[in-house]
Amino acid sequence: MFSTYNKHKTMKRTILIAVMIFLSISGVKAQKPITLTADSVKFGNRYYPGFWLGIPEARPADVKADWIKAIEKGTKSKVTTDRNEMTLFGALLPNFTKGSVNIMSKIAEKDSLSLLFVSVENARDNFVNTNSEEFAALSKYLLKFGKTQYTITAKKQLEAEESKLQDLEKELKTTRKNKDKLEKNIQSAQVKISGQNDKIKSIEKELSTLDIKIGNASTALSVMEEGDAKKAKKSELKSLQKTKKSLLKDSNSAQSTIDKANTSIADSKNEIEQNLALQQDLADKIAEQKLTVSKYQQKLKNIEAF
């Protein structure tokens, strides 16, 4: 079990070991270094010496979960948690010591920094500090863990920005397809107008011929005596007038179709104008988002290359 640390006030003898992953890239969230700071923290009524590991931008909940997995690895012991505090007896840290160690941990958050306090007891009443032989191995282990967490965070940030870019590109693709549909609508309407105009011309020719026949039939009827011949002529005139009425109806219908097609063309042209403006706006956003993605890619490379 952990022994009591003989300090009743918080002492901060800070040894700053910073992993300098500063990025002078505009548009990307300002970077902070991964840090390791010597300190003593109170657990219950006791103070334990150890180190605060500062991990930029990482979510405390994620750091806590991954830390538990990391220190439980290789041992059958399980971490005991009490809100933001974690205790593990019999931990086996890789490349640290041959025997097991006891670990007291605490997770905290300050600004955009996740803070993980770690106190390691490698023998009864013996805690790793900056003067310990094990300090180099422990600091390497902790900084590696911090780098992994920072890398995971940077990857998630990059994925989020790449997703935004993909959404913008999909939207632009859809907008371009909509423009193509509008142009096809215009072409279809123009073909329809041409066809209806031809139909109206044909009807006008038929009406011209029909008017002559109606005139001739009317003239003949006016001088005919009553009888079967006059009845036949009346029937013929009635049929011609009925045909004319039908042709006029077809002509009006064709003109109505032309009017609707012209309205459709005007609407489509207006929508195309708006579509082109939207395409330009999306193209500008895509160009800007590509720069953002590139910056986050560089950020991730910088972290991974350290």
What are the backbone dihedrals phi and psi of residue 98, each rounded to the nearest 5 degrees, phi first?
Answer: -70, -35
Number of continuous H segments (helices) and E segments (strands) in the chain = 3, 7
CB 102, CB 120: distance < 8 Å: yes
* All structural domains of the chain: 35-133 (no CATH), 163-305 (1.10.287.1700)
pLDDT above 90 (res 221): no
pLDDT above 70 (res 23): no
Structure tokens at 264: 């459709």
* Span 140-183, pLDDT tens digits: 999 999 999 999 999 999 999 999 999 999 999 999 999 999 99
Residue (of 91, 124, 120) closest to 104 by Cα position: 120
* Span 254-299, pLDDT tens digits: 999 999 999 999 999 999 999 999 999 999 999 999 999 999 999 9
CB 115, CB 57: distance < 8 Å: no
pLDDT above 80 (res 25): no
pLDDT above 70 (res 3): no
